[in-house]
Structure 1
């Protein structure tokens, strides 16, 4: 693997809360609060955490579907949030997204062939005469039949729709794909097929993934490195093997304890976190996790833990590690 294709430095994305007669800004939801990581070319980087921790917002802000509040997103040496509309449009084919819900991301009024091919025409990457062949080729790669081209989204199952979503991202021949919980809405048997398809595509096309999920067993299968998010911040980051073998942050340990074990004779001790996730509009003082942490001490309630390297490429933000 070569040097980083994508670098994220101290990225913040705050959404304003408006109130009163004049709809003034009365506060902010700190969806992403100072996150940093990098992804090497050809790598699959997993981002995990509970719903509402800011994973999807990171993916969308990296692709500039959301504008950042502060920080940097550097793709292939270019800070993409400094690009004007024309330059950003030129970069779009290289950076694609597979959405969580394949049904709501497809237009019900146009057939799937048009949905997959429209971006090629819009970016001038092929002629109308070549379009059908290009779509048939990508459908074949994604496990769909050429006769599917003229059908509409409601005529497909959930797994087939997600294959269409992957085909739509892939037809632009991208280098980098954000996969935003691409299997969470699917049956378990179909999940395995889609994960295997993404793995095969990564090898055959040398793709780089940011894979967002709340399911650690899915991330373990596909990703080289994993970052764990809690309430807008990164609390731990390590290689896949290191994270599963030696989790250091109490939150990571709790997440891993919830992963089912395939062997029925083995029992994993379940760590059940107490209380609810605090609001990202009013995160707790000190360590954000201290309100639910089973081992929190006085310093955790007062001081924000430093996010630091504790082993070889193993980063953690915890006073007690």
Structure 2
């Protein structure tokens, strides 16, 4: 048995494009295209990239909120996509999801206490009399007051709603949580509180996170290993310290150049990428990044680079490395 809690092997998620009178499939949107990585028990693995790079789709497919097109996802050695509905339901409490927009994920007609307790009752993890006590305990753990239990979602601020989203995820005592851009819509001061809450809960509950974000400054603070995605594929994967000290892929270098430094008089040399990200329905031949890469060679437009290990536990897909 390895120390990996989650193992993703050559995962693909394609959406068919239909056309014509008969609605035949004429192409595919390759939202996730041949992605492989593993997450060790107790660690926070970061997944970063521009909007549309496939980060959220990867997270949802790992938890089988979306069905895969190909590949394999294993949770503690269990093939998640091979489970029956009953088996998947039994596994659900151990794998939870925190949504980017907490307000849209909450039922506006249900009080917060009911929203937090319904999963306990639905999975038979607590009797009705015990559920309220458990809800109050988790609310306190997430920085919510006891009187919040009878309020509706519209009565909370954005930061409080995200705390509710986190409380709803951890109330089932999961082993693994996918957090999809959980702080992107919050003010900077509230972001810091939520990030610290994630770190505290991980230490107390022995949680494992897949943390999805486009904000590298947040990822640097929270994650131990980071995967960089572009147009549905991983282009670099390494430890946080190595990635920030010496990024290898040109796309990673461009992302890091946009992160502001905490010292105002110190500035990074900004790398501005030309053009927009190509469509995942019609990705470029060869390296997917070559149309925007300032270092592209002729080979880059002809042959896709292999995603290979260039040093211990460090992977990159680039002909220049």
Structure 1 and Structure 2 fold alike (TM over 0.5):
yes
Partner of residue 81, structure 1? 81
Partner of residue 217, structure 2? 217
C-alpha distance in 1, partners of 2:115/2:21? 42
How far off is 1:17 after superposition?
1.3
* Unmatched tracts of structure 1, length 5 or more: none
C-alpha distance in 2, partners of 1:127/1:218? 38
| Structure 2 counterpart SS, 1:47 | strand
Pairs within 5 Å for 1:250-289: 250-289=250-289
Whether 2:114 is the aligned partner of 1:151: answer no
How far off is 1:24 after superposition?
2.2
Partner of residue 183, structure 2? 183
Partner of residue 306, structure 1? 306
C-alpha distance in 2, partners of 1:19/1:118? 42
Partner of residue 120, structure 1? 120
C-alpha distance in 2, partners of 1:312/1:256? 22
C-alpha distance in 2, partners of 1:166/1:186? 14
* Unmatched tracts of structure 2, length 5 or more: none
How far off is 1:142 after superposition?
0.1
Say how many residue pairs are matched: 320
C-alpha distance in 2, partners of 1:92/1:241? 33
How far off is 1:62 after superposition?
0.4
| Structure 1 counterpart SS, 2:166 | helix
Partner of residue 239, structure 1? 239
Pairs within 5 Å for 1:37-186: 37-186=37-186
How far off is 1:25 after superposition?
1.7
Partner of residue 228, structure 1? 228
How far off is 1:18 after superposition?
2.0
C-alpha distance in 2, partners of 1:110/1:22? 43
| Structure 1 counterpart SS, 2:217 | helix
C-alpha distance in 1, partners of 2:191/2:34? 32
| Structure 2 counterpart SS, 1:90 | helix
TM-score (norm. length: structure 2): 0.99
How far off is 1:267 after superposition?
1.4
How far off is 1:50 after superposition?
0.1
C-alpha distance in 2, partners of 1:318/1:310? 10
* CA deviation profile, 1:230-273 (whole Å, cap 9, x unmatched): 00000000000000001000000000000011101111100000
- The root-mean-square deviation of aligned C-alpha atoms, in Å, is 0.7
Q: Which moved more, 1:17-26 or 1:102-111?
A: 17-26
How far off is 1:22 after superposition?
2.9
C-alpha distance in 2, partners of 1:66/1:255? 28
C-alpha distance in 1, partners of 2:136/2:21? 54
Partner of residue 20, structure 2? 20
How far off is 1:16 after superposition?
1.0
* CA deviation profile, 1:185-208 (whole Å, cap 9, x unmatched): 111110000000001100111100
| Structure 2 counterpart SS, 1:191 | helix
C-alpha distance in 2, partners of 1:20/1:9? 35
